[in-house]
Amino acid sequence: MRKNLPAAAGWAAFAAACSVFFLPAANPDIFWHLSAGRYTLANWGPPRADFLSWPLYGAAWADFEWLPQTAYYLLYKAAGFKALVLFKALLLTLTLLVFRRLLLLYDRAAAAPFALLFLAAAIAANCDVRPDNFTLLFFTLTLYFLERSRLQGFPGGKLFPLFFIIFFTGWANIHAGYLYGLALIGFYAAGSFVSEETSFIGGKGPFVRPVAALRYLRCLLLGLASSLLNPYGWKIYSVALDHTGYMGDLERYIREWGGSSLADPYQWPYWLALAAVLLSLLFFALKKRRVVYAHLVCVLFFAWVSAGHVRHIPFFMLTGLAFMPALPWEEALPAAGRRYLLAAGLCLLPPGLWYYQRYIWSHYTGRYSEMRCSSPGLADFLLENKPELSGLRLYNAWGWGGWLGWAAAPDYRVFMDGRYLFHGRIREFAAPDSPAKWRELIEKYGFELMLVPRSESPLIEIRYSGPDGIEQLSRRPAYLVYLPKKDWAVVYWDLRLTALVRRSAVPGQWLARREFRYLRPLDLHNLAEPVLSGAIPLAGLRRELDQYLAGHKKDEETSAAREAAVLADELERACARQGAKCSGAGSYSLKSQPR
């Protein structure tokens, strides 16, 4: 029984770590991946030009992630987000199994539970449904191969080069993360060269033929050549150059490209691992003169890139948590010291369980998707009114483009989405800081249909002269300032987004039936004064509420019907009081209407 206890504890830790991978999908980019997968199957080949947007329609597009996109589309058609989340969890669980096998190369079964729990917690924020999941698995397989070849020698056989070609050809058609696999091999080549030429570099011996370094170098060149076996050839490297060219904007405006921060609790495991790994390597290098140069180069590189971009944290965690157990701890610590180290690790279990409960398990909702950049009600509205709206120049925010292209294509084309094609728009539209800037952008692109998320329309203070001539202050949504009512009309809104159309771009009769003149998002709190003074007819407000309720029967999650109905009820009661100046008040009761 006692002999089986460590193994049982190890698998329990493995199961707890795997629980991270079943979090709901929340990445809005999954929708344009699905659109690309649908296109690939419909056209018997991946897209080579943009077919989703109107500004760049027909522009060259190297869709380097076409292979997983096709798989995602087939899975989604089979079982929706449930299939996508389970598939994502399978890939990451396999990654964890390979990583566990890597730790066993060093005979570190006792360290495996702690490393697995740390690894899973640190990559929780990077575990959404995305092609990167494949890269984590392929990267870990590459790391396992490199470490096994370092410890046990290179595999023989004539089929090994063919396997390597297939491996990197597949990876290059899945995700650009294959570049980090090539970098990993390059670091092993450089580290092996230094190890083999230590005497020569130190001036204590002649130069010798670097056997291991050349083998790694051949693997690197083979992988590099294999990466060109894709539908776009060398052009997939232009994608990496594009990211490099816009890196400043990506770092500033897109969270996953931003720098690491201690203020983010999801990065606490990473910071703890960073400190432990770097201090351990430094101790053995300076005090014990024990250095595996390939490990040192890898850790320093991935520590650097992970500190600069949080999406690279998994690469540091995989290398750092693998190389730390590989250190010769038996030489540095006596048996008693190693027992104390194990006891210290056990003391981390209670706070670790608290962390998992607070930041991971608490996010299980029983649903497979938590998409905030989507609106079923808006999709229905756009499709129902496509004769009047589908040909208009549409604006959508960055995060909304993927869903919009998936839900409304081919009738509507988006303005931008999360693809690298639109990196040039990030700075321009990330944070327009004034209504004047918005008006400038609207004029530049000639927008006729504006889909404005609530996050892009904060409340701003507006001073105006009241009926008695006294200056008053109100808080109004920003869209009412840069999309003035004389030119723009609200035709749809919910708790996530507002649709406004340019009056001159649609038929007047259609607009008269669809416009919300009074019941407008983020502005309901300003209705009381004009209704009670008679400036807004209560009958008109009732009509718009009925219109809103009729258009939001299916989307209870995003509908603001209850909020609007409660306000209208309160105004109805206020107008019924003696002396009220409301116009259009009567016996009609909003309480009888559906909520």
Q: Is the pLDDT of residue 585 over 60?
A: no
pLDDT at 75: 98
Higher per-residue pLDDT: 535 or 218: 218
CA–CA separation, 168 and 141 (whole Å) = 11
DSSP string, 116-182: HHHHHHHTGGG-SSSTHHHHHHHHHHHHHHHHHHHHH----STTHHHHHHHHHHHHHTT-TTHHHHH
Sheet holding 449-453, edge to edge: 394-395, 449-453, 497-502, 488-493
Please write the tens of the pLDDT for every residue from 512-525.
999 999 999 999 88
157/528: higher pLDDT:
528
Instruction: Please say if the pLDDT value at position 580 is more than 60.
Output: yes
pLDDT > 80? residue 207 = no
Kind and range of the H or E element at 496? none
Mean pLDDT for 55-73 is 96
pLDDT one-digit tens code per residue, 18-63: 999 999 999 999 999 999 999 999 999 999 999 999 999 999 999 9
Average pLDDT over residues 280-291: 84
**Low-confidence winner among 7-16, 67-76, 464-473 (lowest mean pLDDT):** 464-473
> What H or E segment, with its residue span, contains residue 392?
none
What's the pLDDT score for residue 555?
74
Amino acid identity of residue 526, one-letter, is: N
Spatial distance between the Cα atoms of 457 and 499, rounded to a whole number of angstroms? 12
Distance CA 21, CA 169 (A): 27
445 has pLDDT over 70: yes
In order of 104, 157, 376, 563, the CA distances from 134 in angstroms are 23, 27, 30, 44
Give residue 434's pLDDT band: very low, low, confident or very high (50, 70, 90): confident
**Mean per-residue pLDDT, 186-209:** 81
Q: Is the pLDDT of residue 206 over 80?
A: no
Confidence of residue 475 (pLDDT cuts 50, 70, 90): confident
pLDDT at 135 over 50: yes
